[in-house]
Structure 1
Amino acid sequence: MSMLTPPGMGGKYRIKGDKYPRMRRPRNRRRIVLAAVAAVVVLGFAGWGTLQLVHVFSGDTGNKVNAARDKRDCKPVAKPSPAAAALPPKPAQITVNVYNATPRGGLAKSTADELKKRGFLIGKVGNAPAAYDKKVPGAGMLLGSTAAQAGSLRTLSTQLAGAQLKADTRATADVDLIIGTAFKALTPPKDSTAALAVLAKPVAVKPSC
């Protein structure tokens, strides 16, 4: 036994010559594993942050800015509505026959006179035919050819609110205004003029941009 060997120690702890036994502490595996996991998490967050910075300074932000600018600059475009592709005729282009289907006398003439003041051409004036006499409820009925439904009758409807529109088989361009039992008066001139102005203007439609 060497003099350097402590008393009571031998075997692998025996000191021989100039060699000394290694007495280091064993490695802690748990600490190594935790350190590796922490490194992976840090690298993950660093990569995500870098990706966000790339999006901020790349085209994503530019696209959003461009979309907002396009939306701001996009304005409604005035186009005629399908029903008003051909604007309805003006009052001076329409001949109206005025018939009274009520028991009250004089309504046909007074109504025809008022329509004439508003620019309409007047045709026949008198009592309603037997098919409509005292058989028209409401304010009245506007009667004309099928083609007149989207033209002359639309213009004439601005003069009598609540009137019903009906088509017949006539081949002429004139239209009838048949005064109904609930008739009181034509639409006030101010309102009828405003309604005519709406018919004469194209409709603003929402753009597709």
Structure 2
Amino acid sequence: MSMLTPPGMGGKYRITGDKYPRMRRPRNRGRIVAAVLAAVIALGLAGWGTLQLIDVFTGDDGKKTSAARTKDCTSAPKPSAAPPLALKPGQITVNVYNATPRGGLAKAAADELKKRGFAIGKVGNAPVAYDKKVPGTGILLGGSEAQQGAFRVLATQLKGSRQQTDTRRTADVDLILGTAFTTLDTKKDADAALATLARPAPAPSGAC
């Protein structure tokens, strides 16, 4: 055996030239197969996770939530429009009082209200409790029942008027003119407001 022959190779291989044979380790096919399988499994898990995320946002849960909202909207009571007010100005007796330091306002306002169909009661200076003590355009004063009827009609004649109740049992109401009062609203605006009371707009349907 030649001295150039690698150990363990016996006489099977003999180097006759100046080049050595290359010694390669056998490839480990098991590791390669395992790596490929691991890659396939990882890709599969990633795809499954993506599908789960899609289901969360657009899948059955979204459908259930949408169905629940639809059910809530269906079962919830819908707001109704405000009932029309059939009360006419001629059915309301108005007492007109002047709480300002300017004279003649109560009579002028009472005359104009009478032209617009209101029944007029007392006219004069405001009681001591209100005289020179009403800073706004005016106060509508009456019994508790006036809140849903007479106040709403009379308020169409004077924007910004404040409503207040007392213990009276009669149906008449007071219009106490405040220091900011100059004149009643124009008849055109007042008539439009009265028409809205008689034919109120439908109430909004809500979030559903």
Q: Distance in 1 between matches of 2:107 and 2:11?
A: 141
Q: Distance in 1 between matches of 2:84 and 2:195?
A: 15
- DSSP-derived class of the 2:158 partner: coil
**Percent pairwise identity:** 54
Q: Is the 8 A contact 1:88 1:150 kept in 2?
A: no
2:207 is the alignment partner of 1:205: no
Q: CA deviation at 1:47?
A: 5.9
- DSSP-derived class of the 1:79 partner: coil
- DSSP-derived class of the 2:203 partner: strand
Matches within 5 A, 1:31-110: 31-44=32-45, 79-81=80-82, 87=85, 89-110=87-108
- DSSP-derived class of the 1:116 partner: helix
Q: CA deviation at 1:207?
A: 4.1
Q: CA deviation at 1:148?
A: 1.1
Q: Distance in 2 between matches of 1:40 and 1:128?
A: 91
Q: Is the 8 A contact 1:136 1:181 kept in 2?
A: yes
Once the two structures are superposed, what CA deviation does each residue of 1:138-183 show, in whole Å capped at 9, x if it has no partner?
2222110122123211221221122222211111000011122221
- DSSP-derived class of the 1:141 partner: strand
Structure 2, unaligned runs of 5 or more:
1-8, 13-24
Number of aligned residue pairs: 174
Residue type matched to 1:36 in 2?
Answer: L
Q: Is the 8 A contact 1:78 1:202 kept in 2?
A: no
Greater CA drift, 108-117 or 38-47: 38-47
Q: Is the 8 A contact 1:87 1:151 kept in 2?
A: yes
Q: Distance in 2 between matches of 1:189 and 1:126?
A: 23
Structure 1, unaligned runs of 5 or more:
1-6, 11-23
Task: Please give the root-mean-square deviation of Cα atoms over the aligned residues, in Å.
Answer: 3.8
The aligned residue for residue 180 of structure 1 is 178
- DSSP-derived class of the 1:99 partner: strand
